[in-house]
Structure 1
Amino acid sequence: MQNPAANHTWLRRAFPFLHWINELRDGKTLRADLIAGITVALVLVPQSMAYAQLAGLPAYYGLYAAFLPPMVAALFGSSRQLATGPVAVVSLLTAAALEPIAASGSSGYVAYAITLSLLVGLFQLSLGLLRLGVVVNFLSHPVIVGFTNAAAIIIATSQLDKIFGVRAEKATHHYETVWNTIVATAHDIHWPTFAMAVGAFVIMIALKRVSPRIPNVLIAVALSTFLSWFIGFERVQTVTLEQIASEAVQEVVRDEATLKREIPAIDRAVAEAEKKYRDTLARFGTDDSRTLLAQHAFDTLKLKRERRIKTVRADIEELKKNRFEYVPGANDAPGKYYLRGHLPDGAVSDGRVWRIRSVDGEQLAMNGGGNVVGSIPQGLPSLALPKFDLGVILQLLSAAITISLIGFMEAISIAKAMATKTRHRLDANQELIGQGVGNIVGSLSLSYPTSGSFSRSAVNLSAGAATGFSSVITGVIVVVTLLWLTPLLYHLPQATLAAVIMMAVVGLINVSAVKHAWQANRQDGIVAVVSFVLTLAFAPHLDKGILVGAGLALVLYLYRTMQPRVALLARHADGTLRDAEVFGLKACDNIAMVRFDGSLYFANTSYFEDKIQERVATKPDLRFIIVVGDGINQVDATGEEMLAHLTERLHAAGIEVLFTGLKKQVMDMLVRTGLYERLGAGAFFRTDEQALDYAWKKLGNDHEADCPLNVVCPVTVAK
């Protein structure tokens, strides 16, 4: 017969929300969660759109990532107040992972982002189910501090083109892109866009100073959206190719239109070549000349297709850097667009600077104002499985692991802080499960990777959230926005979203944390600085900075454990045994009492042995070596082998080795290997004083009259 109590416990583990769902019967708790959920939603809606933009996705994909992941993570996670959804660092990592393999905002890019969310979720869920949440400890605090500070700078500077309304060429390294943006700004700043961004900054900063409880982000977004609509901030005209007075521009656009018409036929040819190659491979094997010829034909066609598409897309991107002046036509005739500086004599432009926004066949969308979010599909995204492509999965795997660990560290750090304040139990592995399931379910609804948010979690807690139901309410508000409010967001300036991002990442910059790491341990300070510098240098390949920082932290840790402190003890004035070198005390000639501060394993056994041999070489009258083992947590096979040989050699030299304060796990190992039996029970003591008494009794009258292990013997310094 099954135990009902056991079933109840299992259900609560599988569905953590059962821990708090009954609390919602209390009207006070329900009301608090309703208020907190609505409050967080007021921040989440504009923030999610801004972060989607940071991730290289259309803004509305932020809303897709803001309704299911927060609900699911709250239901299956351990924290009651953690607000999950799009966050700055994960959005930046997403862009860094996807930009090398697809054009930002393209359908392929979106598909990869959704696949990445699934991979992140599966990895986090696996870690949680296997109770492996401890793996995040391999990313040390100094590494995260250095990375986070660098990421904040990268995030902020990545928004400069949107703040100034310029188009800058993307380079291999982020710092080169920033320089290109600065150069473009010096020559081509769009003042209305810059003014819109400054206005958003002023509103958010001013309202935050008045009261942190005011939804400053929402108000800034609402006011700038209204102003954008009122003044006609976006000026878009759809024009025919004949209205562009430049043969070079017309040639590039026609080439792109031709490619669009040819693509279906090219794709069919590539598919046929691939089928022929696979059929030939199946019939004749890999080494047959017919298979090699079929493979060559397939590879050649595929390469030609990729090169053709890449060349045309590059030409279109180059085209978008051009600036035009518009001359209205007379008597309702279509106007003409001339490259800036190439107006015919006597022609008068409308005073605006126009840019090519998009190209569709032989029609162009010309933009003479600022960039806005634009049309957002009304309604909820359709549920569908992400496309599975083994090649893409392998490309994204390392990025998925990095995002999983960084995202979870961000989530668990704020969750721990809130759990301490609210005195609720937090299970890191359950939180991993919650974040993982949230990302998996999110990928089914076109979401990109999400994590726990510092800022929104703080808002959730301060607004009085008592249970995870507050995040469910937040998700419901986002659903309402998607169903009925998206038309209101059309005129939201992208410059405002860039300002929202920059305001959000200011809180990530924490120079004092780097300084604190340096003060605590010089090596940790070096790790933080190296992680910071390399993350900036390698950007947009952020994973390299993290990996090098984590590798350096591990190397320095191993270096520290290879040479732990080996202290020679003597009697201090307070009656205790202290480090003779630190406190300026003499050492005993007959007895060397040595304390080893670390586990004894393969990397430091030689170091320990050398230190003992030094004592033997400098003390010709040495009769006893007492190893104080209360700092030894573990001894591996190499350590045990070294102890066996060392004690054997010392005994042969007339020196007896004693051990004090060894921990149970160390004693158990010595018993299992037989070393305890070979040395004898008389070589092991519970306390230092017991070992000293034994040694003094054996020495009898041969030991020093004023033994530094018995009386205080300061080192006298010659004048």
Structure 2
Amino acid sequence: MRSNPLTTLLPFLRWFPMSGATLRSDLIAGITVALVLVPQSMAYAQLAGLPVVYGLYASFMPVIVASLWGSLPQLHTGPVAMLSLMSAAAVLPLAALGSEDFIALSVMLALMVGVLRLLLGLLRMGILVNFLSSPVIVGFTNAAALIIGLSQLSKILNVPFPRTDNFVLDLWTVVEQLPETHLPTLLFAIATFAIIIGARRVIPKIPGVLLAVLLTTVVSWAIGFERNQEVPLAAIQDAEARELATGYASTQRAIDSLGVTTARINQDIRTLAAEKNDSSFADLALLEADLRVLNRELSQRKLANNERQVALHGLRFEHVIGDDGRDLFYRHGTVPAGLEADGRTWRVAGVDGDQVKMMGGGAVVGSIPAGLPSFKAPELRMDFFWTLLPSALVMALIGFMEATSISKAIAAQTRERVDTSKELVGQGLANIVGSFFSSYTVSGSFSRSAVAAKNGAKTGLFAIFSAIAVMIVLLFLTPLLYHLPQAVLAVIVMMAVFGLINVRSLLRAWQIERQEAVVGVITFFATLAMAPQLANGILLGAGLAIILFLVRTMKPRTDILGMDAEGRLAGVSMNDVEPIGQNYIIVRFDGSLNFVNASRFEDVLLEARAKNPQARAVLVDGSGINDVDVTGEERLRDVIATFRDNGVEIYFTSLKAQVYDTLRRGRMFHLLNENHFIRTKERALEFMHETFDSGDELRPAAPAVGPSTPVLG
């Protein structure tokens, strides 16, 4: 059935006409998804290193666009855990976490991912995902899930999480701070986990995530969970703390300056590289040397500030009001006589210049800007374009793979047809349009799509209803989320991603094909080792999978055949059988005969001849040969000529039609005639026995008669 060009261009027209029952189902599904979407989107925004409001921005326009131009009605697009972490990992080396530059580059990355997905969809290149084998995907997903989940541990403990180029060392820094755990924060995390699990078992119709957000926010407000105070550096009445804070502020200024300098040098390097003349090459070498020195210094200063941050957080203070009414903070146990502390334990939460942020409670979401995102073209920072491009490509493919797997899983239940290229177009447009409304990278969400399908979503209108709910939150409800503890969002992320861990698939891969399983395990450990640069892990895995495929193609399965007890042909090396015949050999070649393995084919025949020097003929079982290219045909003719010079004839049986046609179009029949091509194995065995093992004098090959069809059998 031919598709309607109008619905191809505007897929959402397929929703109409819409019945009242469909509208009600979509409304209920949309509201239910929105209850999960709002807390999830804020949690994932923090995972991406962005303020929580950007998660809500990413849940507005991208959701609407993807629903209008996507392929599967039940697929819900928006912030997802894996791409959120990959976005942070891609941008973090280029800008300070949470800074204006960091936000601008995150939005630019969304635009790049959107353009790549759109191009892949328009060119119908969804097949590229096939380069990622199942064990590679499983290994990467397991590692990414662990990285994403464990990256939230610091928020559950309420301790600093230094970000460097080594995730494992960063995580170990968090683990070392276990004695510094903020107990109320940990209790909120445990309560969130208990509420979500309990809701699933007791009241499954009510989203446990929503219930946890509501209850913990109310409790946080009631007990005054957050207590922050920003004071001048002089308010800290401890020499060690002031020295650490002063050093931190000074080093941070140096880091910012070095960041500007390295960005300028990177731009100069690209400009000189484009000129390509003798003088520019000399300048280029000098600039690259300077850049290496500056990057090394930048890395060292960041490490030093990470250590200061952890050291400052480990100090405990008591808050008192001085005689002159000023706020003063003394190290725990050093408050002078006559001054009364407020009874709380305070710690340093951050340093900004000569101002110190003191925290006397736990971390909450805080103020969320009210209002919808305004239309604004994303800032194109071409000096960072080539740096971000590899990550953008991997994110485009990973996001598409994730959305496709979700779509196919849901389509299997709803019996909808999924067009992967159309889905690429929808996802691409969602990211492109979203970037003009301050959205970072989005993709299809498994959890929200499953909720939509479970609650009876019929068309993509349900996603638009969920976006409208987010719009209402942005316009009117953001003040209510102020007291939501950060630990609650961390638990939401943890529970979402740990459900993606799949060990059984790797165990099953080990039972089926151990080499592929090893590649999956290598991908897992490489992704962990290379974190936070997750793109490098999956690129390595994909490269290993392709190399493994090429090795298999270069060395297809081959064997000399014998006859088993049931009268069937079987490989000698894998079965306890003897080769058939005294004066001929039967060889099986299971692979296409092409430029990659043509020499392997020759080697196999030579090895078979060496093992059976008395043989006067070789019968090639070609049932496993799917095609022959030019190199394969040329090498085949060389082998036939070489063997004939040594008194050995080569015959073929069970060739596929396309292989036979290729040989006929070549010059093969200048060497062979129809007697050398036998259609069935049974007739070939009879012919070989009668001709070479009957005791009669061996007959020479008949003269070539030109192209013809097989006549024997």
TM-score normalised by the chain length of structure 1? 0.87
In structure 1, C-alpha distance between the alignment counterparts of 2:76 and 2:646, rounded to whole Å: 67
SS at match of 1:57: coil
Matched, 1:51 2:62: no
Quote the offset at 1:434 in angstroms: 1.2
Given that 1:630 and 1:663 are in contact with CA atoms closer than 8 Å, whether structure 2 keeps it comes out as: yes
The one-letter code sitting in structure 2 at the alignment partner of 1:235 is: R
Given that 1:323 and 1:353 are in contact with CA atoms closer than 8 Å, whether structure 2 keeps it comes out as: no
- 1:707 corresponds in structure 2 to none
Matched, 1:13 2:8: yes
Distance 1:271 1:222, change over 3 A: closer
Once structures 1 and 2 are overlaid, which stretch shifts more, 305-314 or 645-654? 305-314
The one-letter code sitting in structure 2 at the alignment partner of 1:502 is: M
Once structures 1 and 2 are overlaid, which stretch shifts more, 244-253 or 556-565? 244-253
Distance 1:638 1:270, change over 3 A: closer
In structure 2, C-alpha distance between the alignment counterparts of 1:403 and 1:265, rounded to whole Å: 30
- 1:537 corresponds in structure 2 to 529
Q: Deviations over 1:625-677 (max 9, x none)?
A: 22222211222333222101111122223322222232333233323332245
- 1:520 corresponds in structure 2 to 512
Distance 1:662 1:269, change over 3 A: closer
1:40 to 30, 33, 36: 33
Distance 1:71 1:271, change over 3 A: closer
Distance 1:299 1:541, change over 3 A: closer
In structure 2, C-alpha distance between the alignment counterparts of 1:38 and 1:628, rounded to whole Å: 63
SS at match of 2:16: helix
In structure 1, C-alpha distance between the alignment counterparts of 2:630 and 2:451, rounded to whole Å: 52
In structure 1, C-alpha distance between the alignment counterparts of 2:559 and 2:278, rounded to whole Å: 66
Once structures 1 and 2 are overlaid, which stretch shifts more, 144-153 or 490-499? 144-153
Given that 1:527 and 1:549 are in contact with CA atoms closer than 8 Å, whether structure 2 keeps it comes out as: yes
Matched, 1:104 2:97: yes
- 2:633 corresponds in structure 1 to 640
Matches within 5 A, 1:426-445: 426-445=418-437
- 1:490 corresponds in structure 2 to 482
Q: Deviations over 1:306-330 (max 9, x none)?
A: 8999799879857853645234326
In structure 2, C-alpha distance between the alignment counterparts of 1:172 and 1:354, rounded to whole Å: 30
Distance 1:152 1:259, change over 3 A: closer
The one-letter code sitting in structure 1 at the alignment partner of 2:590 is: D
Once structures 1 and 2 are overlaid, which stretch shifts more, 137-146 or 306-315? 306-315
SS at match of 1:702: coil
In structure 2, C-alpha distance between the alignment counterparts of 1:203 and 1:370, rounded to whole Å: 20
Distance 1:475 1:272, change over 3 A: closer
Matches within 5 A, 1:702-717: 702=695
Quote the offset at 1:570 in angstroms: 3.6
SS at match of 2:95: coil
The one-letter code sitting in structure 1 at the alignment partner of 2:8 is: R
- What 5-or-longer segments of structure 2 have no aligned partner? 272-276, 698-713
Once structures 1 and 2 are overlaid, which stretch shifts more, 220-229 or 361-370? 361-370
Matched, 1:584 2:576: yes
Quote the offset at 1:567 in angstroms: 3.0
Given that 1:373 and 1:494 are in contact with CA atoms closer than 8 Å, whether structure 2 keeps it comes out as: yes
Given that 1:671 and 1:677 are in contact with CA atoms closer than 8 Å, whether structure 2 keeps it comes out as: no
- 2:707 corresponds in structure 1 to none
1:83 to 73, 76, 80: 76
2:378 to 377, 382, 386: 386
Matched, 1:603 2:596: yes
In structure 1, C-alpha distance between the alignment counterparts of 2:378 and 2:252, rounded to whole Å: 26
Once structures 1 and 2 are overlaid, which stretch shifts more, 253-262 or 687-696? 253-262
- 1:655 corresponds in structure 2 to 648
Given that 1:50 and 1:497 are in contact with CA atoms closer than 8 Å, whether structure 2 keeps it comes out as: yes
The one-letter code sitting in structure 1 at the alignment partner of 2:489 is: L
In structure 1, C-alpha distance between the alignment counterparts of 2:651 and 2:484, rounded to whole Å: 77
In structure 2, C-alpha distance between the alignment counterparts of 1:406 and 1:530, rounded to whole Å: 18
SS at match of 2:637: helix
The one-letter code sitting in structure 2 at the alignment partner of 1:552 is: L
- 2:64 corresponds in structure 1 to 71
SS at match of 1:465: coil
Matches within 5 A, 1:104-143: 104-143=97-136
Distance 1:58 1:29, change over 3 A: same
Given that 1:44 and 1:456 are in contact with CA atoms closer than 8 Å, whether structure 2 keeps it comes out as: yes
Distance 1:324 1:699, change over 3 A: closer
- 1:708 corresponds in structure 2 to none
Distance 1:573 1:275, change over 3 A: closer
Once structures 1 and 2 are overlaid, which stretch shifts more, 620-629 or 645-654? 620-629
- What 5-or-longer segments of structure 1 have no aligned partner? 280-284, 705-719
SS at match of 1:169: coil
- 1:144 corresponds in structure 2 to 137
Given that 2:57 and 2:438 are in contact with CA atoms closer than 8 Å, whether structure 1 keeps it comes out as: yes
The one-letter code sitting in structure 2 at the alignment partner of 1:353 is: T
The one-letter code sitting in structure 2 at the alignment partner of 1:114 is: V
Q: Deviations over 1:153-184 (max 9, x none)?
A: 11121111110111243444212111111111
Q: Deviations over 1:349-390 (max 9, x none)?
A: 222222344556654442211111111111111111111122
1:22 to 16, 20, 23: 16
Distance 1:320 1:636, change over 3 A: farther
The one-letter code sitting in structure 2 at the alignment partner of 1:84 is: T
Given that 1:168 and 1:184 are in contact with CA atoms closer than 8 Å, whether structure 2 keeps it comes out as: no
Q: How many residues align?
A: 691
Matches within 5 A, 1:445-594: 445-586=437-578, 587-594=580-587
Given that 2:588 and 2:621 are in contact with CA atoms closer than 8 Å, whether structure 1 keeps it comes out as: yes
Once structures 1 and 2 are overlaid, which stretch shifts more, 588-597 or 574-583? 574-583
Distance 1:701 1:191, change over 3 A: closer
1:175 to 161, 165, 168: 168
Given that 1:325 and 1:350 are in contact with CA atoms closer than 8 Å, whether structure 2 keeps it comes out as: no
Q: Deviations over 1:367-417 (max 9, x none)?
A: 211111111111111111111122211111111111111111111111111
The one-letter code sitting in structure 1 at the alignment partner of 2:48 is: A
Q: Deviations over 1:117-152 (max 9, x none)?
A: 111111111111111111111111101111111111
How large is the Cα RMSD of the aligned pairs? 3.9
Q: Deviations over 1:429-458 (max 9, x none)?
A: 111111111111111111111111121111
Quote the offset at 1:693 in angstroms: 4.1
In structure 2, C-alpha distance between the alignment counterparts of 1:105 and 1:384, rounded to whole Å: 19
Matched, 1:184 2:177: yes
The one-letter code sitting in structure 2 at the alignment partner of 1:105 is: G
Once structures 1 and 2 are overlaid, which stretch shifts more, 206-215 or 126-135? 206-215
In structure 1, C-alpha distance between the alignment counterparts of 2:422 and 2:381, rounded to whole Å: 30
Quote the offset at 1:15 in angstroms: 2.1
Quote the offset at 1:190 in angstroms: 0.8
Distance 1:382 1:311, change over 3 A: farther
Distance 1:194 1:258, change over 3 A: closer
Q: Deviations over 1:553-611 (max 9, x none)?
A: 22222222222211333444555433344443332223322221111223322322222
Quote the offset at 1:518 in angstroms: 0.8
- 2:368 corresponds in structure 1 to 376
In structure 2, C-alpha distance between the alignment counterparts of 1:371 and 1:700, rounded to whole Å: 88
The one-letter code sitting in structure 2 at the alignment partner of 1:448 is: Y
In structure 2, C-alpha distance between the alignment counterparts of 1:114 and 1:577, rounded to whole Å: 62
Once structures 1 and 2 are overlaid, which stretch shifts more, 428-437 or 544-553? 544-553
Matched, 1:165 2:161: no
Distance 1:265 1:120, change over 3 A: closer
- 1:216 corresponds in structure 2 to 208
Distance 1:308 1:381, change over 3 A: farther
Distance 1:111 1:277, change over 3 A: closer
In structure 1, C-alpha distance between the alignment counterparts of 2:454 and 2:189, rounded to whole Å: 28
